[in-house]
Amino acid sequence: MDEIESERAEKLVAWLAERTEAPCATCARALCSHELLFAYALGFRTRPVCSACAARELAQADVPGLRQHLRAHFARRSCFSAAWAWSDAREPDCSARSIQPVAVPVSVTRDDGLWVDAEWDAGDLGCGDLVLELRGRLAALAAGEVLELRATDPGAPEDLPAWCAMTGHTLLSAVHPRYRIRRRP
Ligand SMILES: [Zn+2]
Ligand SMILES: [Zn+2]
């Protein structure tokens, strides 16, 4: 793990440690560290919700599938892997420990590349902050509109396609640091 990633892992663990057992912002169920990590990765850092409530907000019907995709996403990112391992150690009896990583097929749908409804320079925002802000920006668009963003974070090529696949938005192009995303219907 390089220095940036280990620093991120530390911050992530500190964030989890502070909030474990906090209530889901929607259903008030107590959130374990694993559930908090799911919320963080999906863009709910400032309003953590359980994975069932997050799936409902994202119009994803397959909650176990979403958890498996998140687990696979974490396995590919060292900061998330470290935070997941920390959660496992903290909650040895948690059922989340048995979630199998199942990679979500990440696809890029080609478009004509001409039409953009909104642009955003995300700078070097990364991980939870990037997807949090992105979630808000896409929510502000109408269904089918296209957002073009620039994200220089080294994790973006991994994070953004996975996030789009998990949240139902369409990735139109990904040529780091430029990404084009069509808001889901
Ligand atoms: Zn909930
Ligand atoms: Zn747990």
Ligand nearest to the CA of 83: 2
Q: Is residue 175 part of a domain?
A: yes
pLDDT at 119: 96
73, 134: one domain: no
83, 7: one domain: yes
pLDDT at 115: 82
What SS3 string covers the chain? Answer: CCHHHHHHHHHHHHHHHHHCCCECCCCCCECCHHHHHHHHHHCCCCCCCCHHHHHHHCCCCCHHHHHHHHHHHHHHCHHHHHHHHHHHHHCCCCHHHHCCCCCCCCCCCCCCCCCCCEEEEEECCCHHHHHHHHHHHHHCCCCCCEEEEEECCCCHHHHHHHHHHHHCCEEEEEECCEEEEECCC
156, 91: one domain: no
Distance from the alpha carbon of residue 163 to the mean position of ligand 2, in angstroms: 21
Q: Is residue 110 part of a domain?
A: no
Q: Is residue 112 part of a domain?
A: no
pLDDT at 5: 82
Domain count, the chain: 2
pLDDT at 111: 65
Distance from the alpha carbon of residue 150 to the mean position of ligand 2, in angstroms: 34
10, 92: one domain: yes
pLDDT at 112: 65
Structure tokens of 130?
Answer: 């990037």
Exposed e or buried b for every residue in 52-63, given b needs 16+ CB within 10 A? bbbbeebebeee
Distance from the alpha carbon of residue 23 to the mean position of ligand 1, in angstroms: 8
Q: For residue 15, what are the domain limits? A: 3-98
Distance from the alpha carbon of residue 77 to the mean position of ligand 1, in angstroms: 25
Distance from the alpha carbon of residue 11 to the mean position of ligand 1, in angstroms: 24
Question: What's the rounded Cα separation, in Å, for the pair 115 and 55?
Answer: 29
21, 94: one domain: yes
Ligand nearest to the CA of 50: 1
Distance from the alpha carbon of residue 153 to the mean position of ligand 1, in angstroms: 30
Distance from the alpha carbon of residue 55 to the mean position of ligand 2, in angstroms: 17
Ligand nearest to the CA of 67: 2
Distance from the alpha carbon of residue 46 to the mean position of ligand 2, in angstroms: 19
Q: Is residue 125 part of a domain?
A: yes
Distance from the alpha carbon of residue 108 to the mean position of ligand 1, in angstroms: 31
Q: Which of 180, 170, 171, 172 is nearest to 150 (CA)?
A: 180
Distance from the alpha carbon of residue 1 to the mean position of ligand 2, in angstroms: 24
Domain boundary among 37, 65, 98: 98
138, 92: one domain: no
**Which stretches of the chain drop beneath a pLDDT of 50?**
none
